Amino acid sequence: MPALARRPAMSTRREVLYFAVRNRKLVIGLSVVLAFVVIAVVGPFLARYSPNTIGPDVRMAPSAAHWLGTTSFGEDVFSQFVYGLQNTFVVGLLGGGIAASAGMVVGFVSGYRGGWIDEILNMITNVFLVIPTFAVLLIIAAYLTVRGVVVEAVFIGLTSWPWAARAIRAQTFSLGGREFIGIARLSGLSSWRIIFTEIAPNMASYLFMTFILLFGGAILIAATLDFIGLGPTTGGSLGLMMNRAVLWSALQFGMWWWFIPPGVAIMGVVGGLYVMNVGLDEVFNPRLRAM
């Protein structure tokens, strides 16, 4: 019997894998993101200079000595790029993870319990939805004299969860009326156990896609804050590279190697995540699968 019970799950996994490897959007998006992940992991081992070390080679174009050239202060752009790319993924993972976790807790509890608990959580969610999140982040960043990548990611995560909570609440409310949830209630399972053993597994694909969107959103918000000069005061990032390139007239001096690589990386990572998300939607939704 256990072997027979596992067959439908194995069949479903093989079916999903079959369509996943044949979905061009998913393959292209995942390939782009993985390429930047490899650069972020391997890059620091290849960087021959400290990202903030000032050298004599000022405004040097890409060469064998400096693969992505140097800044107006002789700093190695490649070193700044790889360490900035690492911090970009840290912000995305931490900020997106916090937002996804908060959204799941609020959405699951609100959608499953209903009643006055749902009303209170829904009211809190609506309050956060109408608050101008970016304006709040600007004020917080402006008043923090010392800001790090982790602090930035935490604040982004704590302000990005409301839309995810609303979406998860709707899905949970829909699943709450299914027959298998009623059987779980009759069997005496606790609310949390029903949520995490019955409801969440049936929403696994949806939750994963939600996290991808939050991941990309966190990177975009961080890049915007960094670009306007309200990013980390300790450490580096791709947005800060672009900010400094603008401040020190990289475009006027024709130093394309200072601002194009971080811009392409941000666009590539976020664009790859969104393309991958569209591909996953087609894979998980039978109605959208292209034969």
* Predicted local confidence at residue 245, as pLDDT: 92
Q: Where are the alpha helices (DSSP H) in the chain?
A: 2-20, 24-46, 77-113, 115-130, 133-143, 149-159, 162-176, 179-186, 191-194, 200-202, 204-227, 238-247, 256-284
Q: What is the pLDDT at residue 12?
A: 67
- pLDDT value, residue 262: 94
Answer for the pair 68, 261: CB distance below 8 angstroms, yes or no. Answer: yes
**Cβ atoms of residues 273 and 281 within 8 Å:** no
| DSSP-based three-state secondary structure for 121 | helix
Nearest to 16 by CA among 185, 199, 205, 170: 205
CA dist 266 and 88 (Å) reads 8
DSSP annotation of 61: P
Looking at residue 216, what is its pLDDT? 94
CA distance 291 to 279: 13
Positions of the chain with pLDDT lower than 50, given as ranges: 1-7, 291
- Closest C-alpha among 8, 251, 249, 225 to residue 133: 225
CA 186/CA 188 separation, integer angstroms:
5
Q: Report yes or no: 167 and 106 within 8 Å, Cβ to Cβ.
A: no
Summarised one tens digit per residue, pLDDT across range 18-66 is: 777 888 899 999 999 999 999 999 999 998 888 888 888 888 899 888 8
pLDDT (0 to 100) of residue 188: 78
Looking at residue 283, its pLDDT comes to: 85
Q: What is the pLDDT of residue 139?
A: 80
The reply to whether the predicted model has a pTM over 0.75 is: yes
Tens-place pLDDT, residues 179-202? 878 888 888 778 888 888 888 888
Rounded distance between C-alpha atoms, residue 274 and residue 284, angstroms: 15
